[in-house]
Amino acid sequence: MAAQIGTILVYVGLDAVGDGLMKLPFVRALRAAFPAARITWMAGKGHTVYADSLACLVTGLIDEVLDECGVGSRVAELAGPRPLAGRAFDLVIDTQRRILTTLILRRVRHRTFLSAAGNYWLSDIRPRERRKPAAMVDQLLMLADLACGRPVAVQAPLPRDPVAEWAAGELLPPGPAYVGFAPGAGGRHKCWPLDRYIELARRLTAEGWVPVFLLGPAEAEWAAAIATVLPEARLPLQQAAEVTPMLTIELARRLSAAVANDSGTGHMLAAADVPLVSLFGPTPPEKFAPRTRRLTVVAARAWGGEAMDLIPVEAVAAAVRGML
């Protein structure tokens, strides 16, 4: 089927930064499955970060981004002019599940329509077993598999940015063996305590590894405390002339392994395919765990609750050493 698909429209409601990072494995799988197709990404109900802040991550993976299209919300759209009037696609992939939106989107001219809405009721392609994977990324990857007609075993590589590569090489030059730590998250309730990250880094430093702390703007205040107790630690994002997602990913490529909370930085580390230990507390890992080649999830539920401080240093240290 892949050889017959020349144009693809992917519909999303909107993409915040976290959404865009989480959807990267789907974008990469779709490009691997359809290397010659023209892929159009349409945000029907809001803004997609693929149009601006994360555009660098999908260059070459997505050919066209249609932002804030105003498609998929109103009953009135079921009559009158078709959405994207005058355009047609070989394949339309609907990534959401609201029936009204799917009915509206189905009016876009197409040869094949794929949607899980209504248990694939409106879809031209249906799985043999109509199950809904728990993980959001697996739900999307299932659509890529169905579109291709077989499991998509590989993912297209992320684009490389020569400027970000050079900057990462200056900040983390070759030679030392680096281990990464991303102690931040969108909410502090999702953060493993900073003092435990520092203790873990201290133990690994004694074993010859160089700790690298990736601190975003919300965690910048932690830099001084880390530098005081861990003078060997690198804080590359605090030294960078400009912080971009591509720089974070290029820095991650230089790590032997990394530890992160359930966070956007965790998904950037996963996008770099670094061996990753992912820490979870109040959010379910089966739904939000990042997708990467080597992943170990350490969840607070193993110690009887959801609070991140239930996770002992010993457990995370053992997971990291397993990766190293």
Task: Tell whether 310 and 256 lie within a shared domain.
Answer: yes
* The total number of residues written for the chain in this structure: 324
Task: Tell whether 89 and 167 lie within a shared domain.
Answer: no
Q: Domain range holding 302?
A: 162-323
Which residues have C-beta within 8 Å of that of residue 115, sequence separation ≥ 6? 93, 94, 97, 102, 105, 106, 122, 123
Task: Tell whether 178 and 251 lie within a shared domain.
Answer: yes
- Return the CATH number at 277: 3.40.50.2000
Within-domain flag for 153: no
Contact 293, 274 (CB under 8 A): no
Task: Tell whether 99 and 210 lie within a shared domain.
Answer: no
Task: Tell whether 134 and 210 lie within a shared domain.
Answer: no
Domain's final residue, options 121, 148, 175: 148
Within-domain flag for 156: no
Within-domain flag for 91: yes
Task: Tell whether 209 and 245 lie within a shared domain.
Answer: yes
Instruction: Please tell me the pTM assigned to this model.
Output: 0.90
Question: What is the DSSP secondary-structure string of 119-156?
Answer: HHTT-SS--SS----SSHHHHHHHHHHHHHTS-----P
**Count of the separate structural domains present in the chain:** 2
Contact 8, 26 (CB under 8 A): no
Domain's final residue, options 99, 125, 148: 148
Task: Tell whether 273 and 309 lie within a shared domain.
Answer: yes
Helix/strand/coil percentages in the chain, nearest 5: 40, 20, 40
Structure tokens belonging to residue 76: 């009135």
Task: Tell whether 280 and 167 lie within a shared domain.
Answer: yes
Give pLDDT tens digits along the chain (324 positions).
Answer: 566 899 999 999 999 998 999 999 999 999 999 999 999 999 999 999 999 999 999 999 999 999 999 999 999 999 989 999 889 999 999 999 999 999 999 999 999 999 999 999 999 999 988 788 888 899 999 999 999 999 998 889 999 999 999 999 999 999 999 999 999 998 999 999 999 999 999 999 999 999 999 998 899 999 999 999 999 999 999 999 999 999 999 999 999 999 999 999 999 999 999 999 999 999 999 999 998 889 999 999 999 999 999 999 999 999 999 999
Q: Parallel, antiparallel, or unpaired for β 64-66 and 38-43? A: parallel
Structure tokens belonging to residue 220: 């910048």
The residue type at 290: P
